Amino acid sequence: MKRRNVLFGIGATISAGAAVGTGAFSNVSSQRQLTVTVAGDAAGLLSLRPYSGPNGEYADDSGDKLALSLGDDSAGLTRGSQYEFDATLRVGNQGTQPVYVWTEVDSETFADDALYLYQSDAATQFDASNPAEVGVGGDRVLGVYVDTTGVETDSYEASITVHASDEPPEGTAPGDEPAEPSEYVDSLVFDSTASLLAEDGFLDESSVVVTAMDTATSTDADGNGDATAYPDGEDLPLVAADGPVVAFGFPFAQNDVSFGQYGNEEVLLNVLDEYAGSGTVLWDESHGQFYDLASHSSFAGYAEENGYEVTAASSLPGNLADASAVVVTTPADAFTENELSVLSMFASDGGLVVLMDQSDFSDYDQTANLNEVADALDTSIRFNDNQVVDAQNNAGSDFVPVTSSFNTDDYGSLLAAREDLGPELDASEEYEVDVVNVTDGDTVEVQFDDGTQKTVRTVGHDTPETSAENERPQEWEGIDDPETLLKWGDEATSYAEDALDGKTVTLSFDEGEGLRGNYGRLLGLLEVDGSLYNEQVVADGYARVYDSGLGRHDEFWSAEADARAAGRGLWADSDVEATPVVGDDPVSELFVPYATSVTATGGLADERVPVASEGGEPLVAVDEDANVAMLGGPLPDESFESAEGGPGVGDYGNYVFLTNLVDAVAASDRSGDVLVDGGHGQFGADYALAAEDAAYYQRYLEGHSIGLEGTNDYGDEYGPDLADARALVVTAPSEPFTDDEIAAVASFAESGGAVVLASASGDAAADARGHLDDLAAELGTDLRTGTVVTDASNNVGSADNPATTNFDESAFLFEAYGSGDGGDSGTVASVVDTYSY
């Protein structure tokens, strides 16, 4: 079989060129014409044009028929050979309703199975026995199959007719009819999404693929007054299609969307199949996009598994010629006139253009730039400068709406569930798999019994990265040298190769982690030779504990503690005492992420409120008798760090203040680590923190010889000992504490340990605030969570994160923490007893 992407040269309008010599078609005085036409009754329904990829060169639509030219005078189709010309032409539905499309070949030269058009599989003819249903604006990319076996003549004509009808072709057996999808994707998730508009108002429903549920609303999150309001009862479009342009309200299949849990990656791949068919997908990175190809690496791998090449593009004009599709996420930099012109020509030639916006939260969107692109493409779709929220149907936060409101009548093929996501797995079952490749110390490829290969992220631990740009030294206690971590990344890879590569292992899953992670990888526990690899790699000093919701987290933590104490593996290079003091300055301003006020059941006296908003709402309150403090939000949230893509927190004293507060609330003789609760759904929640989300605060505490550790359980033999800690930080828990856990925390507070409770705003955190209030009540404090606090003028990133200088400075909580000599009996601890709450 000769599979050609670019074949020979181009001969005038002949269908098959010739190679001079024995066994090849002669080019002397022969008539060789292969044409493709649309049946007369379908002429108004279908468009027929060359494909935009390399093989489109061999389709010529300059005449009244599309002619295929597959060779030239010096090289051609050899007799006795088979050829597959992938992605040569494109047939599109330019009508107003979905149609069935198929082709018919008429040739006296070629046998029925020797010349035909096909879609992605060259073995399957695109004929009346295998038609395709093409949605409005959709198309099919077709290749040409030619078998010259037995062809003896140099002169032939062949024609291919494309048919279209709103009914399946006559004679199609019921079992051969294009089946409606047996099922559609269950739901789609939209993380911080805008909605869509029309150029002159609101989109016609025939262009809308997906809308938000009717419980969703449109908000002007950035407060700029530039969001277009929808009439009462108007659906909020989130996905729309208009010819070769498909628009999404947010980066639709980014790595943060749980692969396999929702249908996002399936729908986006369906879009590629429907409008591109095959070939190269360019991901535009030439306009300052934050959502680059790396942020969609999981989907890119999925698309490549299904035959596409997905490539980052640092320049569009120079790369579009060889592409079948281009993805443009919200562009920070505007397109030039030349770029817009080139992109418009690409779409006019049938190339797919996928546009993805994002919500106007914190004004991070660049909706105006994206609408300029839409305008140049002559599409009716526009993007709204808004944010869609849904308090009822969401994935944990109201700004992450989930929807199953689909237009399956017009776009069923885009919304169809796919069967190529691998084996159906049950998180409660175990599977015998073979390790076929080791990527690094915490990532392997395994093969199931059916031959399917999948990537497994071994959960509960983290090994050093093997590339410096992906490493965060703050996560590694006492190690801040990237080269040291790179060395141990390679060592961890070698360790995994020795332990796992080529072996049959037992794959299971942890109920606290789920089946798949952000990158589409299975989140697995691997048992090999009677040992749990996930824990053993920690015990041997090649990994740290990953502070997630893992059910065995505290067991793994104990394994790490033993390795650190013994200086095994990478911990031989750890020196916490050498960690310098960073950011320890007097506090001049604080900000409170996702803020609520703090209240008390019997009223809150001013002297118990060291921090209030600029408008006077209490943001921090203290109950000295109960050894409890309540924060209006999770102060040490690292997502606000500039290195993590946030607005930056360098001018704010959150870390200094929180450490002072811990010592002020704890008994004066209390020392030890600061523990962060992660066993109640905090990990992965946008409004709460596990220790994994506070690496920068961990590094700050190290400078004062204070540890920060995660804890998920309070009553077993593993994990950090609550009795030895100075403080327990509990951010908004989506799961309630058990009676035994409450008793353990209450005993800790009664013995002088500080309990710091942190609230959070948002409808999605309502239950979590309730759980936090329940815990506060059981601890004997009158402190409770309050109402949402916003500040449009003084904030970090958005009004939901108010900044303030409204301090009661007599509380002595705003000085630099200490000199770095241990900190556990630093400045505040020695003076706090002079201040009465």
Quick one: angle between helices 695-702 and 654-665, nearest 10? 70
Strand order in the sheet with 156-165: 59-60, 66-68, 32-38, 156-165, 99-107, 132-134
State the Cα–Cα distance between residues 376 and 353, nearest whole angstrom.
12
Question: Any catalytic annotation for residue 521?
Answer: yes
Using only the alpha carbons of the chain, give its radius of gyration. 31
State the Cα–Cα distance between residues 756 and 777, nearest whole angstrom.
14
State the Cα–Cα distance between residues 676 and 592, nearest whole angstrom.
18
State the Cα–Cα distance between residues 525 and 510, nearest whole angstrom.
7
Question: Any catalytic annotation for residue 465?
Answer: yes
**SS3 at position 468:** helix
Strands (E), 124-230: 132-134, 139-147, 156-165, 188-189, 196-198, 208-211, 216-219
Q: What is the dihedral of CA 796, 797, 798, 799, to 10 degrees?
A: 10
State the Cα–Cα distance between residues 172 and 165, nearest whole angstrom.
13
Q: Identify the CA nearest to 715 among candidates 742, 694, 683.
A: 742
| Residue from 32, 521, 544, 699 carrying the catalytic annotation | 521
Question: Any catalytic annotation for residue 516?
Answer: no
Ordered alpha helix ranges (H), 593-750: 654-665, 695-702, 739-750
State the Cα–Cα distance between residues 463 and 441, nearest whole angstrom.
6
Q: Identify the CA nearest to 179 among candidates 131, 128, 139.
A: 131
State the Cα–Cα distance between residues 675 and 730, nearest whole angstrom.
9
Q: Identify the CA nearest to 221 among candidates 682, 790, 605, 775.
A: 790
259, two tokens: 């692969």
How far out from the chain centre does Cα 57 lie?
36
Q: 154 and 25 in contact (C-beta within 8 Å)?
A: yes
State the Cα–Cα distance between residues 639 and 346, nearest whole angstrom.
38
**SS3 at position 362:** helix
Q: Express the helix, strand and coil content of the chain in percent, nearest 5 each.
A: 25, 25, 50
State the Cα–Cα distance between residues 296 and 255, nearest whole angstrom.
5
| Residue from 274, 465, 477, 617 carrying the catalytic annotation | 465
| Residue from 32, 90, 457, 769 carrying the catalytic annotation | 457
Q: What is the dihedral of CA 655, 657, 658, 660, to 10 degrees?
A: 120
Q: Which residues carry out catalysis?
A: 457, 465, 521
